[in-house]
Chains A and B, each alone.
Chain A
Amino acid sequence: MSQPNWIAGPQSLLGAPPYRLAGNTHNHILRAWLGAASIIAACGVVIFGLRVLEVLAGAVGGALLTNAVVALVTGKKITDQALRATLTGVLLALTLPALTSWPIALFGAVVSILIGQCLFQGWLQPALVGRIVTQAAFPGFLSVGGSMLLSPVLTPGHMIFGDIEDTERIVDYRGWLESQESTTHDAYLIQKPVRTLRQFAQNQVKPNADLRYTPLLRDLLPPWSDTVFGVVPGGIGETCTVMLVIVGLYLIHRGYLRWQLPLTVIASAALTVSILPVEVANDYRWFPALEVEQGRAVGLAYVLFHLTTGQIMLTAFLLAGDVVASPMRAHGQIIYAAFIGALSIFMRLYGVLEGECYWSVLIMNLFVGTINRQLRRPVLGMEPPSDD
């Protein structure tokens, strides 16, 4: 019954409150985010083939290499920031197209770490800095066969092992599964849905008599389910909406991402695209979400396409919610996320830049300090209590 050493040592009797911690360390957060990003990267491998691994290797290798060099120069330990650098590398790869060559990915990673992570530490999302600079430095890397409009995706039966560069241009694209028999190549070469949507908003899509939305939805865009499952052209991690939602929910469940942020990005984007006008024959039609053609709610379909194509989902769940570069309080994150969603849609509809969501995240990153300052909480007992 009697235990000779019931207290293990004198240090057992010391300490200061609190004695128990919640147990979520910075490393836990980074590991969870890295896991989430890796799952999306794996989806990218499935959809765009093994070529994706080359981009990933370039980005992650560049990030780790730069991190090591920076650590050597500044005299810090290499392992301090290695996890963070890896996460930045993977996130950068997720924003790049599958056809990016590895030196370009490596260049982007070097820029991400040097500028995003070392120079503007905690102010800008580093992966997006790399992505934007890469885009400016190599404007051609987004184009296939000299055309900025077209982009490939693997055909059914050729996933993972197919060659993404063995492409065939499909003019009359009916959807990922429907076009199966018509091709002997490994990949379809079709227009990115988000580009089609931009052309539509800028009145470059010919209406069919008095039907304007129906030709767009029926003939020009792939089926909506394709955009949900991700079998449409785009960046490595941009397309697979369903997996992005799942890993986002995982991060929310772990408490590393506030649910308010992705929800607000998506809600704000939906609201903006429902309101902002599309150009029709020198006329602007407001509230496109309310459009009905032949008894079909084509306006709502148009809004849903906007949400699931492009970078909205990747931005909402993985890029904007970065613990370091987003506002501190939930209220601030709501404001930040609302502007990201609205700006992204605005730039997509009327802008010329590629990567509109990435630009809007970087723009809003600049206002994080202001948002934090404006949303100070009242201290208990120092301000008069509110009336409610």
Chain B
Amino acid sequence: MKLLSNLLGPRQAFDGGLFLRDYKAITARRPIEWLHADGPLHIPLSVRADFPVTPVVDVGDRVIRGQRLTIPDTQAGLPVHSPISGHIARFESVWSPFDGAVPGIVIDPDGRRDAVPPVQSWADESVIGQLVEHGVVCPMSRQPLHTIIREAVRRGVSELIVNAMETEPYLTADLRTLVEDAGRVVDTTSELADALSAVRAIIAAPFRHRHVMKRLLSDAAGRMVEVAVLPDPFPQCHPHLLIKSILNREVEPGGSPLDLGVVVLPLSTVRQAAEALLDDRAVTHVLLTVAGDAVDRPGTYRVPIGMPIRRIAESIGLTGPVRQAVIGGPLTGIPMRDENAVVTIDMTAVLLFTTTEQVNPVDCIRCGWCIEDCPIGLSPPDLVRLESRATVNSIEMSHLRACIDCGLCTHVCPSQLPLSQTIKSLRDRFDGGEADRETGRR
């Protein structure tokens, strides 16, 4: 029976999804490496373009690692800290892949390792205070963690799910964290569950990499934290599907997990929170998977915020010129958009490829692969057909809203049609008109 469950894995809890070839063989075995700043860092002044901040340093000042560079002007904002010790060279605009050109600060490293000592006063500070102090952000949704917790506490939460699934190809940052830092993940998860006053705290981990889970399981033994080892078809890592798989509840189209009293946090947030809560250190470095066939030495690297991606590529080594640069996973990431983009706090991966996909779309042949693989149960060809329509009815609108933009339909389409891109643009097009007629929600 054990052999059988080892071979077959746990039962898949949602229809659709696809077991992708994951290209993690090399990177999953490489330990996390530090990538030190060997040149000026270009740090955005604010973690998000819409958070106003005030700089507290001036040109020529010497700063040390962990020292504040800016303080937020609003309650939702976050401070930004210096990742290295060095001198402020100048203020100039830097390119963030998410926000475009934003005001930034350039620090020249002075080669020393001075850092702000941990305050060790954590007994008398609240978790939320610590999170604000050290600038913890939730990647992808790009929301500061303390605002997520405040909102969640206000609406009431029963479950906290930590998402360590990482089912997209190439990405290994979460996997390496589980291998090297499983105990800290468990500790931080229970701290966050306390702060949320959640009834259950669950860490979702992929069955494909179950051999590294043994340590996680032994660390979690006897704790309040449960470990759910799930089958890992893409996109099991999406919050809605995690809730479906673990709790068998369904988020309604366009809704959020909070509607069901569930908070889903990516492991990268927990990783940042661990630094803030356990080490009392500001978040100044991010864990980046640098992979793709253009990268000579792919792996997981701890990179200071503000390091130009070009410098990362040069210090790791390239096998050839990069023809496609992606921030995030190969199915859901965003394009790099500018050659001089820098590492920001909400990045988890940089993928550099020597090829772009050459697509040559032909007519739909009605093979049904997209329908079979859609994790939500949508029919992408039917939705794409709405393109010629001026209005949509409420059912079609909720279908458009239910799409989670996983990109799987485009990925598998043998006719190479841009299905997910079209669905996304249709949702943007119709969402405006629909919002007025509905009850003003969203």
Contacts and interface: CB of A to CB of B under 8 A. Distances in A.
Given A25-B414, A380-B376, 4 more contacts: A3-B314, A17-B420, A377-B371, A377-B374
Interface in B400-436: 402, 405, 407-408, 410-416, 418, 420-421
Interface string A1-28: 1110111110111111111111011101
Contacts of B413: 21
30 contacts: A3-B314, A5-B321, A6-B310, A6-B313, A9-B323, A12-B336, A13-B336, A15-B326, A17-B332, A17-B407, A18-B420, A19-B357, A22-B411, A22-B412, A25-B360, A25-B415, A122-B365, A122-B366, A324-B367, A328-B366, A376-B379, A377-B371, A379-B377, A379-B378, A379-B399, A380-B240, A381-B240, A382-B253, A385-B249, A385-B250
A8 B255 contact: no
Contacts of B14: 380
Nearest to A327: B368
A18 B235 CA distance: 13
Interface string A33-47: 000000000000000
A12 B324 contact: yes
Contact of A329 (B252, B371, B405): B371
A156 to B, nearest CB: 43
A13 B244 CA distance: 35
B290 to A, nearest CB: 13
B98 interface: no
A101 B420 CA distance: 50
A6 B240 contact: no
A128 B377 CA distance: 33
B103 interface: no
Nearest to B410: A18
B335 A16 contact: yes
Interface in A277-329: 323-324, 327-329
Contacts of A6: 310, 313-314, 318, 321-322
Contacts of B325: 7, 12-13
Interface in A316-347: 323-324, 327-330
Interface string B227-249: 00000000000001100100011
A: interface residue count bin: 35 or more
A9 B323 CA distance: 7
B414 A24 contact: yes
A328 B371 contact: yes
Interface residues of B, number: 69
Interface of B: 14-16, 169, 240-241, 244, 248-253, 255, 310, 313-314, 318, 321-326, 330-339, 351, 353, 356-357, 359-360, 362, 365-368, 371-372, 374-379, 398-399, 402, 405, 407-408, 410-416, 418, 420-421
Chain A residues touching B, majority SS: loop
A29 interface: yes
Contact of A13 (B15, B337, B368, B376): B337
B51 to A, nearest CB: 26
A328 B335 contact: no
Interface string A164-203: 0000000000000000000000000000000000000000
A378 interface: yes
Nearest to B320: A8
Contact of B331 (A17, A29, A376): A17
A323 B357 contact: no
A110 B25 CA distance: 51
B330 A18 contact: yes
The 6 closest A-B pairs by CB, nearest first: A328-B368, A18-B407, A377-B377, A18-B331, A8-B321, A381-B250
A20 B21 CA distance: 11
Nearest to B371: A328
Contacts of A25: 360, 414-416
Contact of A19 (B249, B326, B398, B416): B326
Contact of B362 (A14, A16, A26, A327): A26
A329 B372 contact: yes
